[in-house]
A and B are shown apart, each in its own frame.
Chain A
Amino acid sequence: MEKKKYDQLQEELYFEKLENGLSVYVLPKPEFSKTYATFTTKYGSIDDHFIPLGESKLVKVPDGIAHFLEHKMFEKEDGDVFQRFSEKGASANAFTSFTRTAYLFSSTSNVSENLSTLIDFVQAPYFTEETVEKEKGIIGQEITMYDDNADWRLYFGAIQNMFHHHPVKVDIAGTVESISKITKDHLYQCYNTFYHPSNMLLFVVGSVNPEEIVKQVRAIQDGKSFKPQPPIERHVEEEPSHVFKEHAQLNMDVQVPKCMIGMKASNVDLKGDALLRRELAVNAALDILFGRTSENYTSLFEEGLIDDSFTFDFSQEQGFGFALLGGNTRNPDKLTETIKSILTREAQNSTITEEQLNSVKRKNIGGFLRSLNSPEFIANQFTRYAFNDMDLFEAVPALETLTKDDIAAALSDLARPEKMTSFYILPKEKEESE
């Protein structure tokens, strides 16, 4: 077992890679009552085109399958796994993102039993035609719930505008139509390919003893046999660097228009430190340009173009990346035009000062400390970073070394007219026949 100490933060991180390839991390937080554990596979909604384990040809699986699989992992021959967690006073959950599927629990007692339950249920698939069919009704309602959610439609609309082929443009849960095609065989095929321990990471944070946790996990894994797995072969079509659509919009039953501006990243094969620095640089740029300390924020707010729903963020994974800026607005056209012109101008000739950069660094240092109050943040973000060969705890040291030039370079690469798009949600026209 390896141990890494972060003196300034007063945290210690323990790590072991087990024989079957599973990465196990433990961060003790003795002052906390709870322990939070995530068991995550590097498999999300974008992994829809791959060579299944033991086969030789690429297959394309129905949209929404990673998320469907996540739902179905909770049902076993002897009932629902939620029940088992509840009996031991734990609260369990799971989520599927573009690139990850995570299973998790938190509990303030019976941690070792709950940890065994977590690992065992994720490592014991049980799918039947009947249970698969039953789930279609539940997920169908989840999909329609998101269909009615204007903020979700706004977010996804902007992403769909950006990408020509990349599966990030497919809604994570799929559609009612696409999930109707899912069978138990699809689920086993995906499970067998992506749930091998070597493609997974276990993170435990809380009032635990690292040696004991690792010993327990090792014992559970030693009791199971996994064949060594060759690297997974995923296929993604070549994606152009320009956006798919410059603009699109959707009418919904809303009163306030919503506007999202997207910027599509290129150089999306970055990993590790280079990716970390890219993310930090772009986010610092957006913060300086559009954060509450900026003149832009003040003037946009005073003109009534934004309100406190305005947000911005940039994230990049292997194969895709984007920045999104927007929120509720009275005038989506004017907001789009203003933001695009600020970004374009800045990309050509950076105005960012040393003082602004230092202020953003200080803000992020404190923000990171605040994040460490949250076991959920630590486990989920650490895992996301690790899957991209980055170290969450290196984020602040890396940020401290960023220069104005780094930021200017990152922005000039991103803020180009052909990489920008806008998406609106607009109120429905008054209907004639009420």
Chain B
Amino acid sequence: MTIQPKTVKNEGFSIHTIETKQFKTNQVVVKFRAPLQKENVTARALLPYILQSRTKRWPTTASFRTHLDDLYGATANVDVTKKGESHILSFSVDIANERYLKDTTPLTKEAFTVLAEILFNPLTEGDGFSAKVVEQEKRSLKQRLEAARDDKMKYATQRLIEEMCEGEPFALHPNGLIGEIDALTPEILYQTYKQMLSEDAIDLYVVGDVEHEDILEFCQELLPFQTRPPYENENKTSVQKAESKKIVERQSVKQGKLNIGYRTETVYGDEDYVPLIMMNGILGGFPHSKLFINVREKESLAYYAASRIESHKGLIFIMSGVDPGKIDRASTIIQEQLSAIQEGSISDKEVDQTRAVMKNQMLETLDAARGIIEVLYQSDICGNPFTIDEWFEKVEAVTKEQIINVSKKIMLDTTYILTGKEEA
């Protein structure tokens, strides 16, 4: 089909080039991956922000950002996420393809220079990072974590995960723990950085109008990562509770959030993974799905009611925003939709629609550089169980029986409700 990455695997450091003329800018992303764990999650969450704040060559934010602007508005961003129980730090630079500029000086290598500067040349003092930078970024992270709690939709999602996966690494927010920030010193952070550089599994992706050979050369010259032992991290997917859990929390909000978490016992690459994502599509992935039709269109209970898969930990989350007085009703209808699938109540039309929109959604995702990288990375981090082409073949071949079978593995784990203070 479409995306044919050229990949070179060094020990612990893989380079993936996707040569395409589809875009007017070229994107370079480096991803660092380590096990998600309480001991260093907060320090790691801070690192990308410290590193991209300023460097030895660009010792002020202004000088660094001016350099990027002068490179025809190159963008440099960092991102901290988790996939399953892996903690992922991403550094990306997106830069104009000079073919579309009046000034045709080559720019792609400049993106590597910027990344190399961020990753290898941080502003340091003694055995640590610059104390000033660390203080500012600590304050900023604190505020980011607090503000994330102020977004009720995000807050409810994170609270469900915390309650559901209590005691498991997956409960951790990738941005870390607010209570751990104060204890982080420039020295501890620098150690964490050194460890990231020498031990994390690293994947570099380049999407754009580039040549794989040039990319390899740029990497050799500018991003000389040492070899490292292979990445090992077991996602524990099978954690069964004796009894499902229900948490109700009150704040002064007008709309209740009803979020429900299930265990699927199925992760990316498993035999029944594709049936599972089809099942999720039928349940709540789209506007033709059971949740949208029944919770929203038929009962007018919610504006949004949707389900989402966590592909590497084996979870499904259902999220909805409902009037506080109608949470029980919504909860009943939501549970009925899953039961209906488990009992085999799926029409051929639902399967066909879901198949069609799943394929469409994947093709659309692959129409953006970032989408291409995320799709490839999802597969690269678990040993490429199938190619993108095979993904399409599998979606095409899924049967209703397979969908019903995988749905029977799904177990209710935790219901989390955020509701108003008045109604009690």
Contacts and interface: CB of A to CB of B under 8 A. Distances in A.
Interface of A: 8-10, 31-34, 80, 82-83, 86-92, 106-109, 134-142, 144-145, 147-151, 252-256, 291-295, 297-298, 301-302, 304, 307-309, 328, 330, 359-360, 362-367, 369-370, 372-375, 428
Contacts of A364: 73
B36 to A, nearest CB: 23
A82 B287 CA distance: 6
Contacts of A370: 24-25, 73, 75, 94, 96
Nearest to A32: B367
B65 A291 contact: yes
A369 B360 contact: no
Contacts of B73: 362-367, 370
Given A255-B150, A362-B69, A292 B62 contact: yes
A328 B147 contact: yes
B129 to A, nearest CB: 16
A297 B363 contact: no
Nearest to A147: B254
Interface in B120-155: 132, 136, 139-140, 143-144, 146-147, 149-153
A64 to B, nearest CB: 14
A150 B288 contact: no
Contacts, number: 206
B41 interface: no
B150 A150 contact: yes
B323 interface: yes
A270 to B, nearest CB: 26
A141 B302 contact: yes
A89 B300 contact: no
B296 interface: yes
B300 A369 contact: no
Contact of B357 (A86, A294, A369): A86
B62 A144 contact: no
A256 B144 CA distance: 9
B2 interface: yes
Contacts of B357: 86, 89-91
Given A31-B20, A82-B288, A83-B353, 11 more contacts: A86-B354, A89-B356, A90-B360, A149-B153, A307-B143, A328-B147, A330-B143, A369-B97, A370-B24, A372-B24, A428-B252
A151 B147 CA distance: 10
B186 interface: no
B25 A366 contact: yes
Nearest to B366: A33
A373 B323 CA distance: 40
Given A32-B22, A374-B368, A142 B74 contact: no
Contacts of A106: 360, 364
A193 B300 CA distance: 29
Interface of B: 2, 20-25, 60-62, 65-66, 68-75, 94-97, 99-102, 132, 136, 139-140, 143-144, 146-147, 149-153, 251-255, 286-288, 292-293, 296-297, 299-304, 321-323, 349, 352-354, 356-357, 359-361, 363-364, 366-369
B71 A87 contact: no
A147 B255 contact: yes
A150 B154 CA distance: 12
B147 A309 contact: yes
A149 B151 contact: yes
Given A34-B367, A293-B65, A151 B287 contact: no
A150 B357 CA distance: 33
Nearest to A367: B73
B359 A89 contact: yes
B152 A144 contact: no
Nearest to B358: A89
Closest 9 CB pairs of A and B: A137-B300, A366-B73, A366-B72, A89-B356, A363-B73, A142-B303, A86-B288, A82-B287, A292-B65
A149 B149 CA distance: 11
Nearest to B305: A141
A34 B100 contact: no
7 contacts: A89-B356, A92-B287, A141-B302, A150-B151, A307-B140, A359-B70, A367-B73
A144 B304 CA distance: 12
Contact of A86 (B100, B353, B369): B353
A33 B363 contact: yes
A370 B151 CA distance: 29
Contacts of A107: 360
Contacts of B361: 91
A144 B296 CA distance: 15
A308 B140 contact: yes
Q: Which of B96, B301, B354 has the most CB of A within 10 A?
A: B96
Nearest to A173: B303
